[in-house]
A and B are shown apart, each in its own frame.
Chain A
Amino acid sequence: MAPAEMKTVLAAHPFFDGLPEKYIDLLSKLAFEVRFEQDEIIFREGDPSSLFYLILSGKVALEMGAPGRQIIIQTLEAGDELGWSSLLENTSKQFRARCLEPVRALAFDGARVVNLCEEDHEFGFHIMRRALALVAERLRATRLQVLDVYSPKGVRGK
């Protein structure tokens, strides 16, 4: 992807909505395009968290498996973020990410983004605020799932 196109794509992604242009420039130097085939595994549970992805097209399933239980707990698509835990240090993946469709994404090395945040706290504030909003959204969705609202025998406080 040409640098100019990269900047346009980054600026258009919901995650970077409203980010000052100089930081888009900075990020465009870190980002690289990745493609995955359908059914390809992007990462496995237990993998060290390293890359942070912005999905441009296709669909990814976050899955958890155990003997007798294999479920998709969330799907992510164009406009969604994948692998936010790479913005934290020393973490590993909690789920498996599998492509339900061919996927195109931009990837960042999470450690390098964090280093930049350390060097420039203003940049860091922009990134961390977005990361917090993302995590809050995931947490809210997770709480709704936990409530099991469609089941009359859903989670109750009794």
Chain B
Amino acid sequence: MSTAASAAPPLSRAVMEPVPVRIASVSRETHDTFTLTVTPPPGDPVSAFEPGQFSMLYCFGVGELPISISGDPAVRETLTYTIRSVGQVTYQLVTRRPGDFIGVRGPFGSSWPLKEARGKSVLIVAGGIGLAPLRPAIYSILRHRGDYNRLVILYGSRSPRDLLYRREFEAWSLLPDTQALCTVDYGGVSWRGHVGVVTTLFRHVRLQPQETVAMICGPEIMMRYAARELEARGLPPAQIYLSMERNMKCGAGFCGHCQMGPWFVCKHGPVFAWPEIRPYIDLYEL
């Protein structure tokens, strides 16, 4: 697990000092979730990311939080974050206006296995805000569509009003060789879509399990159920990946908060292969 000793590691100042970035836009996705687009200084390393990685976003004088990057990795001029307003820092972030500045550090962490998935089908399983860290992977697959077989996107949410990126999702569902299904835990009577937890969508999916790579992101309970069920349906465990959430304060492996058994979620994760995380994910209060 320790990295091979080579050149001296970069100093923490380079990763601990936020880069001031200008907010280009703030758009409302749902009643509590917003998408922020920022423009980093041209060529700054904060903007080069792999799908699945996160940044630390700093709100002047208020605090800092890890937020997954939700935009297109091929677009280097901007960085996009989809943020749910659930606490003080997220509230401050989503109530910024275009032209305001926030700080960005990163990108940090591991990324979705887009190389390993080449030549295979990809099954995306998202729950709630978990669609945001998966969206860069979807963009990347669509950009290199020929490298992959079928693309299946399953998306579960609490209710229809919590669904993210609705227009985009509908566009995905119309693409060839692509299945995009969403479901909600509770629907209003006018809802015509699926109702039921996201795992109930699995039976509608047409995939060769051996030739499929699954990428899962959502609440931990949902990910555990989804990974176990996919394994039961014949997906090789090493082809199932999920993105973990823990209290990440530094992003760089210094603060110790995000430990999960032997892992530091910030540097070994957040994206893990199922066999790496399975021994620990079912241990309560690990």
A and B, direct touch (CB closer than 8 Å): yes
Asked if A71 and B199 make an inter-chain contact with CB atoms under 8 angstroms apart, the answer reads no
- Which of B200, B204, B219 contacts A141, CB < 8 Å? B200
Contacts of B230 in A (CB 8 A): none
Q: Which of A56-79 contact B (CB under 8 A)?
A: 59, 61-63, 65, 70-75, 77, 79
A61/B221 contact (C-beta < 8 A), A72-B186, A72-B189, A150-B185 known: no
Asked if B204 and A77 make an inter-chain contact with CB atoms under 8 angstroms apart, the answer reads yes
For the complex formed, measure the closest distance between the CB of B135 and the CB atoms of chain A, giving whole angstroms.
17
- Which of A70, A74, A150, A152 contacts B188, CB < 8 Å? A70
Q: Which of B215-235 contact A (CB under 8 A)?
A: 218-219, 221-222, 225
A145 contacts the other chain (CB 8 A):
yes
For the complex formed, measure the closest distance between the CB of A62 and the CB atoms of chain B, giving whole angstroms.
8
| In the A-B complex, the 4 residue pairs with the closest CB atoms | A72-B187, A150-B128, A149-B219, A150-B158
Asked if B189 and A63 make an inter-chain contact with CB atoms under 8 angstroms apart, the answer reads yes
A74/B222 contact (C-beta < 8 A), A61-B187, A145-B186 known: no
Asked if B225 and A144 make an inter-chain contact with CB atoms under 8 angstroms apart, the answer reads yes
Measured CB to CB, the nearest residue on chain A to B191 is A72
Interface size class of B (residues with CB under 8 A): 20 to 34
Residues in chain A within 8 A of chain B (CB atoms): 14, 59, 61-63, 65, 70-75, 77, 79, 100-101, 141, 144-145, 147-152
Residues in chain B within 8 A of chain A (CB atoms): 86, 127-129, 156-158, 162, 183, 185-189, 191-197, 199-200, 203-204, 218-219, 221-222, 225
A79/B203 contact (C-beta < 8 A), A73-B195, A144-B225 known: yes
Contacts of B200 in A (CB 8 A): 74, 141
A74/B203 contact (C-beta < 8 A), A61-B187, A152-B86 known: no
For the complex formed, measure the closest distance between the CB of B190 and the CB atoms of chain A, giving whole angstroms.
9
